[in-house]
A and B are shown apart, each in its own frame.
Chain A
Amino acid sequence: MSESRPVTETDLHAYADGFLDAAGRERVEAHLARHPDAARQVADWQAQNDGLRDAFAPYAAARPSDLQLVAGRRANGKPAMPRFAVAAAAALVFLLGGLAGHFGPMLFEKPPTVTAMDALPHEARNAYLIYASEVRHPVEVFADQEAHLARWLGKRLAIDDLKVPDLTTIGFKLVGGRLLPVTDRPGALFMYEDETGRRVTVLVARNEENRTTSFRFAAANGVETFYWIDGDLGYAVTGDISRERLQQIAEECYRQFPT
């Protein structure tokens, strides 16, 4: 490889930091082969990088107090976030559990009071991950028995007149549904599929607290969930699709579910 232009100090830094493409690396390596001082310098920089990363890597860990730091109070008793209730903090725990799985155990050492509904996005995500990837048995009852599906799940969740949302107007066809436990109570999972085979799930669960929330959003590893609580029921729409599309689905479900 001929040296098309002189190697600058910026090139050397970029080489040490791994920011160059193959051609750039080749150009710099040719230069370093002819300039031993520069080669030693770059090697030292790389050793510094390694040493620094090693030295500070152990600090990149979540701590049980993190939640308090964001949602709770400072040690001096001054409320950092007075408008945030414990319940919101608890929901954050679950959110983070998904966002950073390996930090989860640390956070759960001192769990705040967790209600069934705070677990909703977490449960919805798990259900999506387990069932949406099933090719042959994604659901227990398929869409061809939709009326039966609605009656059956309605009965198990004690919802009169449970309607299976119709998402065909936004391009998602019902695959079917299944019964599943959501924090120890029966929950209903509906699965939909678009023409390219991408799936979204709609989870309906009992909420014991009888409160109502706005739409909320949780994301972890590309899987996104919109959820909301409407009286004694909680809903979560989960999928690996664009947030705009998912929100559209969530709004459509909200419109169709009886309030």
Chain B
Amino acid sequence: MSQSPDPHGTEAGSGREGAPSPPFSFDAEILALLPQLRRYSRSLTRSDAESEDLLQDCVEKALSHRRQWRGANIRAWAYRIMTNLHLNARRAVARRPSVGIEEAENLVESAPPSDPLARNQLVQALNTLPKEARAVLMLVAVEGHTYQEVAEILDVPIGTVMSRLSRARQLLREKLAAENVIHLRSPR
């Protein structure tokens, strides 16, 4: 999306001085992206709280770095910010407990009722994946990005995208095949 035009220069008559007001459409674009960013955020993290933190950090960073946005694909840009924030927060998150028993129940209840047990199992299995591999799988499977787009978002070669995707899928498969019980608390 291009920047909001401002043929009159700065806001005439509003008495605002200094830096020109930011492009109005930028905030609207971010606002419109929030639902899908919330989904992506939740798919990367282990709890609703962690997810909301990540979303807030992402929005804050996007808004404060708006000048770095070159008017290209704002959606890919926002995904990139969120992914980087998440991957860079490695140590902080590694210490956190995984889904607690109450949250796990909530997860099941808030999801559509097709097969809550299988879904819970899947989400638990997801929590065992390396973050990089998980991010690729979420970007492709949940967010619907092409492999090329994922490569751009993560700033890695497409071969890396494919190997991470392959790894994520293989690990999930093994995990799900091995599991016959639902862990409300994951083992680590």
* A positions within 8 Å CB-CB of B: 9-10, 13-14, 17, 19, 41, 44-45, 48-49, 51-63, 66-67, 69-71, 74, 80-81, 83-84, 88, 91-92, 95-96, 99-100, 103, 211-219, 226, 243, 247, 251, 254
Contact between A74 and B142 (Cβ–Cβ < 8 Å)? no
Pick from A41, A91, A212: contact of B14, CB under 8 Å: A212
Expressed in whole angstroms, the Cα–Cα distance for A51 and B141 within the complex equals 10
Question: Among residues 27 to 84 in chain B, which have CB atoms less than 8 Å away from a CB atom of chain A?
Answer: 27-28, 30-32, 34-36, 38-39, 41-43, 51, 55-56, 59-60, 63
Q: Is the CB of A100 within 8 A of B162?
A: no
Q: Mark B103-132, 1 if CB is under 8 A from A, else 0.
A: 000010011101000110011001000000
Q: Contact at A212–B13, with CB atoms within 8 Å?
A: yes
Please state if B25 and A217 are interface contacts (CB–CB under 8 Å). yes
Contact A70 B169, CB 8 Å, known A9-B162, A80-B63: no
User: How many Å from the CB of B126 to the closest CB on chain A?
Assistant: 8
Most B C-beta atoms less than 10 A away, residue of A59, A61, A251 = A59
Task: Give the residues in chain B near A70, CB-CB below 8 Å.
Answer: 27, 30-31, 34, 59, 63
Question: Which chain B residues border A52 with CB–CB below 8 Å?
Answer: 43, 122, 126, 137-138, 141-142
B173 adjacent to A57 (CB under 8 Å): no
Q: List 12 A-B contacts (CB under 8 A).
A: A48-B172, A51-B119, A54-B111, A55-B43, A55-B119, A59-B42, A67-B31, A69-B55, A70-B27, A80-B60, A96-B32, A100-B35
Please state if B39 and A59 are interface contacts (CB–CB under 8 Å).
Answer: yes
Complex Cα–Cα for A212 and B56 (A): 32
Chain B residues whose CB sits within 8 angstroms of the CB of A44 once the complex forms? 169, 173, 176
Cross-chain contact B111 with A58 (CB below 8 angstroms): yes
State A43–B20 Cα separation when bound (angstroms).
Answer: 54
- Assess whether B5 is in contact with A217, with CB atoms less than 8 Å apart: yes
List of A residues within 8 angstroms of B31 by Cβ: 66-67, 70-71, 92, 95-96, 99
A60 touching B35, Cβ below 8 Å: yes
Q: Does A56 contact B60, Cβ atoms closer than 8 Å? A: no
Q: Are B39 and A60 in contact (CB under 8 A)?
A: yes
Q: How does the 8 Å CB contact mask read for B123-159 relative to A, with 1 for contact and 0 for none?
A: 1001000000000011011100011000000000000
Give chain B residues whose Cβ lies under 8 Å from the Cβ of A60: 35-36, 38-39
Shortest A47–chain B CB gap in Å is: 9
* B150 CB, min distance to chain A CBs, angstroms: 11
> Is the contact region of chain A dominated by helix, strand, or loop, or is it mixed?
helix
A53 and B138 CA atoms in complex are apart in Å by 9
In angstroms, how far is the closest chain A Cβ from the Cβ of B45? Answer: 11
Proximity string of chain B (10-24) to chain A, C-beta cutoff 8 Å, 1 when within and 0 when not: 111110000001101
Counting CB contacts under 8 A, is B160 at the interface? no
Residues of chain A contacted by B22 (CB below 8 angstroms): 83
Report whether B123 and A55 are in contact in the complex, using a CB–CB cutoff of 8 Å: yes
CB distance from A242 to the nearest CB of B (A): 11
Given contacts A71-B27, A211-B14, A251-B7, contact A59 B38 (CB under 8 A): yes
Q: Are B21's CB and A81's CB within 8 A?
A: no
Contacts of B2 in A (CB 8 A): 243
In the complex, residue of chain A having the shortest beta-carbon distance to the beta carbon of B26: A70
Of chain A, the residue at the smallest CB distance from B43 is A56
Q: Check if B28 sits within 8 Å of A92, measured CB to CB.
A: yes
Q: Determine how close the nearest CB of chain A comes to the CB of B158; give it in whole angstroms.
A: 9
- B165 at the A/B interface (Cβ < 8 Å)? yes
* B179 contacts chain A at the CB level, 8 A cutoff: no
Q: Are A69 and B28 in contact (CB under 8 A)?
A: no
Are A219 and B25 in contact (CB-based, < 8 A)? yes
Which of A217, A243, A254 has the most chain B CB within a 10 Å cutoff? Answer: A217
Chain A residues whose CB sits within 8 angstroms of the CB of B7 once the complex forms: 215, 247, 251, 254
Once the chains bind, are A74 and B34 in contact (CB under 8 Å)? no
Select one of A9, A13, A69, A254 contacting B56, CB under 8 A. A69
In Å, the complex CA distance between A67 and B38 comes to: 14
**Are the CB atoms of A211 and B110 closer together than 8 Å?**
no
Least distance between B145 CB and chain A CB atoms (Å)? 10
Chain B residues in 8 Å Cβ range of A219? 1, 25
A45, B169: Cβ atoms closer than 8 Å: yes
B4 contacts partner chain A, Cβ-Cβ < 8 Å: yes
